[in-house]
Amino acid sequence: MSLKKSAAVLAALALAGGAAQAVVVDTFGTLTATTALKYGSVSLPTFLVNDDFTFSLSAASTVQSNVVTAYGSITPAFYGIYKAGPDATFGTPDDIPVVGHTFSGVSSPQFDTLAAGNYSFKLFGLNAAPVSVYAIAASATALPVPEPETYALLAAGLGVIGFVASRRRRDY
């Protein structure tokens, strides 16, 4: 089964079970540059993993995340980053998907640039073993904020380019 098909199957399963409100399993709190780990487990084969891990960003950041199966097998699996939406509550229909990552068994670190705000990692997957344990690792690095001098330099640079361009037009 291709990744796209796997994601479609998972999305259908998630919708089928969507009547039940998603339960916030755990929270990272405010993500920082220090990598934080959260664990989840599932103990029934073919049972759908549907876990939420909320986090917040105090500034626009690059978020690094990865889901690793520590024991057993959760495959196929999908995790997305969602915003809480206008009602500020996770697990309700107005949640806004920001980005999604699919993996089968083994995943690789993902990097997403996000604005300041409240988010949730939403993990969907099928347990393919009697017992599976997974870990989600996440950290955030604030994006550099340009200093006023940087803007002044940029404006000066653009001015010089404009001056040179106008001189060239006059020369020809």
Choose which of 92, 113, 150, 166 interacts with Ca ion (CB under 5 A). 92
Smallest distance from the beta carbon of 85 to Ca ion, in angstroms?
4
Smallest distance from the beta carbon of 101 to Ca ion, in angstroms?
21
Choose the binding region for Ca ion from 31-39, 42-50, 83-91, 112-120 (rule: CB under 5 A): 83-91
140 bridge partner residues: 63
CB 132 within 8 A of CB 72: yes
Smallest distance from the beta carbon of 102 to Ca ion, in angstroms?
23
Query: What is the distance between the alpha carbons of residues 98 and 83, in angstroms, rounded to a whole number?
Result: 7
95 binds Ca ion (CB under 5 A): yes
Query: What is the distance between the alpha carbons of residues 56 and 69, in angstroms, rounded to a whole number?
Result: 24
Q: How many residues bind Ca ion (CB under 5 A)?
A: 7
DSSP 96-131: EEEEEEEEBSB---EEEEE-SEEEEEEEEEEE-SSS
Choose the binding region for Ca ion from 76-84, 106-114, 125-133, 149-157 (rule: CB under 5 A): 76-84
Which residues make up the interface to Ca ion (CB under 5 A)? 84-85, 87, 89, 92, 94-95
